[in-house]
Amino acid sequence: MVVGIDMGGTSIKVGLVDEKGTVTEKFSLITKDYPEFSSFVAALADKVNPLKAKYDIKAVGIGCPNGNFYTGNIESAVNLPWHGTVPVARLVSEALSVPCRITNDANAAALGEMTYGAAVGLRDFIMITLGTGVGSGIVIDGRMVYGHDGFAGELGHVIVCPDGRLCGCGRKGCLEAYCSATGVARTAREFLAESSEPSSLRAVPSDAITSKDVFEAAVSGDALAKRVFDFTGEILGRALADFVTFSAPEAFVLFGGLARAGALLFDPVRESMERSLLPLWRGKVKVLPSQLPADDAAILGAASIAVQSL
């Protein structure tokens, strides 16, 4: 039995996970209730330590923004209330008296997919998380890639369009500026502004359009909304083809809100990737949807860091 903790800017989800990947107990805490990390750790210990009477808890895994596997620290995560460097793994391990490993959210998702989901049995794959931002976790020969400094796998910040859209990182043309949920909404606003083509999205105030609105319009047959997904898939597919030249993965696993758009996104992604691949790899690289249950995915991802460390 291991504990998986998904630490986000809004909430911190905690679950007990058994060997089969079943979440047997879970609870969540509101991140902003804990302005000091020590108060969060105390609350966590109050909840988890009593469970030890019932369960044999072996380890804790935490997925968190800017979580560094090597140091066990969160380093300057902008969405969390704790500033500077926080020795998360050490403090949690001390409070719960079991080993604790941490990594960033996307790496946790990749480990979760490898342990319980779409990547079981795969030794070479790349996880792409398509949420508010674009993250990635890279597995080569069965091992997570952390890189020299623990921050490898920032594929959301590959430049796909030189001098393109301004990205949150301060640079221009990043994959994340196009293929995240916010990128999809931005593309919709651009398409709407560029023409007077009729679209059900014109009923939504431009600033308020979300990727969910675009998805629902596309599902209802809205041509402009469908083109937004085609455009997003075209750019993502080209990027995936470039990623293949790096580590020659057997598959990509797409995870997160946008990945739930199904064929609307997967069809143009696969078509664009195939067209862009070196001939050597055509027809050989799979693009798979995540197979983690949406509600428990983040907890399972975090739990799998603990499993991998045992």
For residues 300 and 115, the answer to whether their CB atoms sit within 8 Å is: yes
- Closest to a copy of itself by CB, 3 vs 160, is 160
Residue 53, interface with a copy of itself (CB under 8 A)? no
The separation between CA 174 and the C-alpha centre of its own chain, rounded to angstroms, equals 16
Residue 123, interface with a copy of itself (CB under 8 A)? yes
Q: Which of residues 159-178 bind a copy of itself (CB under 8 A)?
A: 159, 161-162, 169-171
Nearest distance from C-beta of residue 114 to a copy of itself, angstroms: 14
- Closest to a copy of itself by CB, 60 vs 239, is 239
Write the CB contacts of 47 (distance below 8 Å, at least 6 apart in sequence): 14, 27
User: Segment contacting a copy of itself (CB under 8 A): 27-35, 55-63, 81-89, 156-164?
Assistant: 156-164
Total residues belonging to the chain: 310
Residue 242, interface with a copy of itself (CB under 8 A)? yes
Residue 238, interface with a copy of itself (CB under 8 A)? yes
- Closest to a copy of itself by CB, 54 vs 284, is 284
Residue 271, interface with a copy of itself (CB under 8 A)? no
Nearest distance from C-beta of residue 183 to a copy of itself, angstroms: 17
Size of the site for a copy of itself (CB under 8 A): 41
* Side-chain-facing half-sphere of 155: CA atoms under 13 Å: 27
Residue selected from 150, 183, 268, 301 as contacting a copy of itself according to rule CB under 8 A: 150
Residue selected from 145, 168, 210, 230 as contacting a copy of itself according to rule CB under 8 A: 145
For residues 163 and 173, the answer to whether their CB atoms sit within 8 Å is: yes
- Closest to a copy of itself by CB, 108 vs 240, is 240
List the one residue out of 133, 102, 156 whose CA is nearest residue 257. Answer: 133
Coil, strand, or helix at residue 256?
coil
Instruction: State the pairing for strand pair 251-255/143-144.
Output: unpaired
- Closest to a copy of itself by CB, 162 vs 205, is 162
CA geometry: angle 8, 14, 15, nearest 5 deg: 140
Residue 153, interface with a copy of itself (CB under 8 A)? yes
126's enclosing H/E stretch is strand 125-130
Q: What is the DSSP string of 148-199?
A: TTS----GGGSBSSTT-SBPTTSSBSBTHHHHSHHHHHHHHHHHHHH-----
Torsion of CA 242, 247, 251, 252, to 10 degrees: -50
Residue 55, interface with a copy of itself (CB under 8 A)? no
If you compute the radius of gyration of the chain from its CA atoms, what whole number of angstroms results? Answer: 20
Residue selected from 108, 138, 261, 299 as contacting a copy of itself according to rule CB under 8 A: 138
Residue 25, interface with a copy of itself (CB under 8 A)? no
Q: CA 11, CA 15: separation in Å to the nearest integer?
A: 13
Residue 248, interface with a copy of itself (CB under 8 A)? yes
Nearest distance from C-beta of residue 238 to a copy of itself, angstroms: 7
Residue selected from 53, 193, 208, 280 as contacting a copy of itself according to rule CB under 8 A: 280
Chain residues binding a copy of itself by CB under 8 A are 123-124, 138, 140-141, 143, 145-155, 157-159, 161-162, 169-171, 238, 241-243, 245-250, 276, 278-281, 284
